[in-house]
Amino acid sequence: MTLPAALSLRPGFGFGGVLRDTLPEPLRDAAPPTQPAGDDEAWMLETLRTAMAHNGLSDPNPVVGCVIVRDGQVVSRGATERIGERHAERVAVEAMPDRSVFRGATAYVTLEPCSHHGRQPPCADLLASLGLARCVVALRDPFPLVDGAGLARLQAAGVAVSVGTLAAEAAAWHAPFLLRQRLGRPLVAAKWAQTLDGQLAYDDGAQRWLTGKAARAHTHWLRQKYDAILIGAGTVLADDPALTVRDAAGDRHRHPLRLVYDPNGRALAALPQRLERWKAGLLSADAPTVFLLGTQAARRATALEALLPPSATMIALPDGPPVEALFDTLAGPAMVARLGRPVGSVMVEGGPRLLGLLLEAGRVDLAHVFIAPAIGGGERNRIAFPGSAAATRDWRPVATAALGPDLLAEYASPAVAAHLARLVDAGASVSPLRHG
């Protein structure tokens, strides 16, 4: 059988970007270094790092980075701001009142500059007006209103355009934006930690970490990339998680929406006993929390709703197959009212049952797997739904890296791996570009 095309990242990179930059300073040596080949790769690496400083800030827009270099020195840099505010290229340009400094310079951008009027004017036109010598773009933007038009405008202005530098790494960084367009539903990433023999928790039920500090800090970094974190009732009752980004590196731009999949109302039934504890964690004011309840559980829980703090609410799942009901709710009006828009991406941090349910349904697109150097030796707490093995058999490895004592292994479903690989290949084929 022929496997689909794959996306393979260089050492030191993952879906979260440059691995060392995802960790707080004291932990950075726990991740492998990057090894750029040549000046363009070195400057594009710096451009990706610039984008990472705004992790989670500009969603649902892509978090783009722009670095402008002249005579081997950075003239200016920028990253995309909040939605409706400036794009990365405009931030970089407006940081320098004297635009003559850009003449003859090279602009590095992680994603093709936009060519259409949205909330902001076209960035391609802005760059084309500067007298740049070159523009190096990591990845062509497949968005229909761009899709090569930005590159064509730069070329028409006499700017030499190069596409494809660190393209795979940029595609991984921009995956939530790129895949949301493709899937037509929320992007689903699964995250779990396991022992070498596949246990997600020890059978004795004791609350202790499987992985080390670097793996946990990287998880908090990843949370900012997604609109929401989804867990099940079992995880709530076993771990009392907070699901914040408190250990993430750099500025913390957002705590994601917290979703508790609780169709039978088991977790919410514990609210009277755990309310004070949860106020400092799962129900803290850091982010909204939504309990997703089955119809019967929602009726029974009406009396408990008054106990919830203002940051928390309950939503009744529609009747029907569980996974379909869940996805209908993520895009439904109640969720839009809570988040301000449909949920575009979710990271699932649930236990074996919830992960197995979504894997069996073929609804997991990416996986961030942390493997601890330990043997659990138990029989429970494994992803063991009947269809989960078949659903992941053809998954493609994207990146592997040591994070301290643990191993991070990241995967993409066959369809997602093939789509991202096509985007990378499309960028590599653009030179010279003519956009009709």
Please give the positions annotated as active site: 89
Q: Which helix (H) or strand (E) holds 403?
A: strand 396-403
What region, left, alpha or beta, does residue 144 occupy, with left being phi > 0 and alpha being psi -120 to 50 degrees? alpha
Angle (CA) 297 302 305, round 5°: 110
How many whole angstroms separate alpha carbon 271 and alpha carbon 239? 14
Assess contact for 106 and 68: CB atoms under 8 A: yes
The candidate with the shortest Cα–Cα distance to 268, out of 313, 225, 310, 216, is 313
User: What DSSP string describes 171-198?
Assistant: HHHTHHHHHHHHHSS-EEEEEEEE-TT-
How many Å apart are CA 246 and CA 310, to the nearest integer?
21
Short-list 106, 193, 131, CA closest to 367: 193
Sheet of strand 134-137: strand arrangement: 73-79, 65-70, 106-109, 134-137, 160-163
Q: Is 124 helix (H, G, I), strand (E, B) or coil?
A: helix
DSSP track, 299-357: HHGGGGGGGS-TTEEEEEPPSS-HHHHHHHHHTSHHHHHHHSS---EEEE---HHHHHH
What does the alpha-carbon distance between residue 188 and residue 201 come to, in Å, rounded to a whole number?
22
Residues in the chain: 436
DSSP label at residue 386: T
Residue 217 token pair:
């800090």
